[in-house]
Amino acid sequence: MINTTQRLTKIAIIGTGRVGASCAYALQMRGVASEIVLINANRQRAEGEAMDINHGSLFTKPVRVWAGDYRDCRDADIVVLAAGAAQKPGDTRLELLRNNATILERTLAPALKYLEDSILLVAANPVDVLTYLAWRMTGLPSNQIIGSGTILDTARFRFLLGQHFGIEPHSIHAYVIGEHGDSQVPLWSLANIAGVRLDEYAVLNGKPLDGSHRQTIAENTRRAAYEIIKRKAATYYAIAAGLVRIIETIVRDEKSVLTVSGVVDGTRGWADAAISLPRVIDRHGIAGTLALPLSGEEEAALNRSAQVIREAVLSLALDEQISLGKIPSLRLVLEQHEPA
Interactions with ligand NAD, residue window 161-180 (CB under 6 A): 180
Written as one letter, the residue type at 37 is: V
Nearest to 329 by CA among 339, 338, 318: 318
Q: State which of residues 9, 100, 249, 276 lies at the interface with ligand NAD (CB under 6 A).
A: 100
Residues 81 and 130 sit within 8 Å (Cβ to Cβ): yes
Residue 50 interacting with ligand NAD (CB under 6 A): no
**DSSP calls for 96-152:** GHHHHHHHHHHHHGGGGGG-TTPEEEE-SSSHHHHHHHHHHHH---GGGEEE-TTHH
Binding segment for ligand NAD (CB under 6 A), chosen from 121-129, 201-209, 305-313, 322-330, is 121-129
Smallest gap from Cβ 254 to ligand NAD, in A, equals 21
Question: Pattern 29-48, binding to ligand NAD, x per CB under 6 A?
Answer: -----------xxx--x---
Distance CA 240, CA 224 (A): 16
Distance CA 284, CA 267 (A): 21
Interactions with ligand NAD, residue window 58-87 (CB under 6 A): 82-84, 86-87
Smallest gap from Cβ 21 to ligand NAD, in A, equals 7
Interactions with ligand NAD, residue window 7-26 (CB under 6 A): 15-20
3-state SS class at 201:
helix
Our CB check for ligand NAD shows the closer of 81 and 301 to be 81
C-alpha 108: how far from chain center: 16
Residue 228: phi and psi, rounded to 5, are -70, -45
Our CB check for ligand NAD shows the closer of 40 and 138 to be 40
User: Can 180 be counted among the known catalytic residues?
Assistant: yes
Smallest gap from Cβ 166 to ligand NAD, in A, equals 27
Residue 313 interacting with ligand NAD (CB under 6 A): no
Question: Residues 262, 102, 105, 325: is their CA dihedral positive or negative?
Answer: positive
* Cα-based distances in Å from 65 to 27, 50, 68, 126: 10, 6, 10, 28
Residue 309 interacting with ligand NAD (CB under 6 A): no
Interactions with ligand NAD, residue window 226-265 (CB under 6 A): 234-236, 239
Our CB check for ligand NAD shows the closer of 156 and 310 to be 156
Catalytic residue among 170, 180, 213, 337: 180
Distance CA 284, CA 274 (A): 18
Distance CA 41, CA 149 (A): 24
Our CB check for ligand NAD shows the closer of 165 and 226 to be 226
Interface residues toward ligand NAD, by CB under 6 A: 15-20, 40-42, 45, 82-84, 86-87, 100, 103, 106-107, 123-125, 127, 148, 152, 180, 234-236, 239
Give me the active site residues, please: 180
